[in-house]
């Protein structure tokens, strides 16, 4: 199920809001990239305001599809347009705490998730990814240790064998 994110709304709920929109957007995109890596979900974020040259309209940044409000409009309207044009809006999860936007997308069958609830999803994704990476590291170490163990054991067997016919 694709996620359609009201970028500025989620940024506003992040805490430690950076007054520099570029840094705030970059931070959110980084967190969304972690979410994508952990969940394998499709994510599109829509920002209010002017395009950022580092992540322009239509760019894919680490899997995150970046969009902006149309000139003279806002991200809410852009999100409404996407949901309205969708052939299967019930497959979309819109992330926003804006009441008007929530009402609109719900009436069209799309799912709605508050920015606060999505913050929990982002935190869970980060934790899940961290655990996965630790597990993979642990598995790699275990495999290397076992390979060393068995290779040494086999080597010792061969060294201890006096009968050449026993060596395969």
Round to whole Å and give the CA distance between 103 and 101: 5
- Residue 24 contacts residue 99 (beta carbons within 8 Å): no
pLDDT at 88: 95
Ramachandran region, residue 84 (left: φ > 0; alpha: ψ -120 to 50; beta: rest):
alpha
pLDDT at 14: 75
CA 107 from centre of chain: 27
Evaluate if residue 26 carries a pLDDT over 90: yes
pLDDT tens for 128-166 read 877 766 555 444 455 566 566 667 666 666 666 555 555
Evaluate if residue 168 carries a pLDDT over 70: no
pLDDT at 133: 61
pLDDT at 28: 94
pTM for the full predicted model: 0.76
Q: What is the average per-residue pLDDT within 4-32?
A: 88
pLDDT tens for 69-118 read 999 999 999 999 999 999 999 999 999 999 999 999 999 999 999 999 99
Round to whole Å and give the CA distance between 40 and 9: 23
pLDDT tens for 62-71 read 999 999 999 9
Alpha-carbon Rg for the chain in angstroms: 25
């Amino acid at each position: 199920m694709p996620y359609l994110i009201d970028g500025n709304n989620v940024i506003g709920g992040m805490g430690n809001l950076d007054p520099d929109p570029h840094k705030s957007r970059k931070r959110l995109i980084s967190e969304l990239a972690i979410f994508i890596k952990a969940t394998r979900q499709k994510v599109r974020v829509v920002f209010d305001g002017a395009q950022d040259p580092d992540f322009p309209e239509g760019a894919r940044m680490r899997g995150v599809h970046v969009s902006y409000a149309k000139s003279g409009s806002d991200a809410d309207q852009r999100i409404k347009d996407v949901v309205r044009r969708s052939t299967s809006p019930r497959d979309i999860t819109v992330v926003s705490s804006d009441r008007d936007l929530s009402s609109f997308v719900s009436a069209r069958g799309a799912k709605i998730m508050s920015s606060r609830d999505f913050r929990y999803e982002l935190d869970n994704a980060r934790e899940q990814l961290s655990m996965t990476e630790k597990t993979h590291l642990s598995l790699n170490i275990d495999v290397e240790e076992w390979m060393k163990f068995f290779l040494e054991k086999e080597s010792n067997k061969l060294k201890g064998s006096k009968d050449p016919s026993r060596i395969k």
